[in-house]
Amino acid sequence: MGARRLYESGLGGSGDEIYAALLEAHKGLSEAESEALNARLVLLLANRIGNAHEVLELIETARSYTG
């Protein structure tokens, strides 16, 4: 299990808008389509961050909530 890092908000007050957009993006999709959309989104966000160290920390933090 990876180490969990605690993140302060970086959403700049747009949290509700971003959250709603995520839900909206999945509307009407099958489970498989939703999973594929999430995978694409993860790849795009990872590329946008572009720094292996930061991406690995995010992966570890996400993974630390499993189980």
Partner 1 sequence: MPAYPYAEQPFIRPPELDGGRTDAPVAIVGAGPIGLSMAIDLALKGVKTVVLDDNNVVSVGSRAICWAKRTLEIFDRLGVGERMLEKGVTWKVGRNFHGRDEVYSFDLLPEAGHKYPAFINLQQYYVEEYLLERAREFPDLIDVRFLNKVTGHEDGGDGVRLSVETPEGTYTLDARYMLACDGANSPTRTRMGLDFSGQTFEERFLICDIEMKGSPFGDHDTPERWFWFDPPFHPGKSALLHKQPDDIYRIDLQLDAGADPEAEVAPDRVVPRLRAIVGDKPFRIDWLSVYRFRCMMLDRFVHGHVIFVGDSAHVVSPFGARGGNGGIQDVDNLGWKLAAVLKGEAPESLIDSYDEERRHGAEENILNSSRATNFMTPKTPAEALFRAETLRLAHDQPFARELINSGRLSRPCSLAGFPLQTPGGGPVVPGTAMPDAPLGGDWLISLVQGDFTLVGFGNVRLPAVPGIRRIGVDQRGDYPCHGDAEGFALGRYGMGLAYLFRPDGHVAAVFDAPTAAQVGAARDRALGRIPAMQEAV
Q: Is residue 4 within 8 Å of residue 62, measured between CB atoms? A: no
Per-position b or e across 23-48, b if 16+ CB within 10 A of its CB = eeeeeeeeeeeeeeeeeeeeeeeeee
40: contact with partner 1 by CB under 8 A: yes
Nearer to partner 1, 4 or 40 (CB): 40
Q: Is residue 66 within 8 Å of residue 10, measured between CB atoms? A: no
The CB-of-62 to partner 1 minimum distance in angstroms stands at 13
45: contact with partner 1 by CB under 8 A: no
33: contact with partner 1 by CB under 8 A: no
Residues that bind partner 1 (CB under 8 A): 35-36, 39-40, 43-44, 47
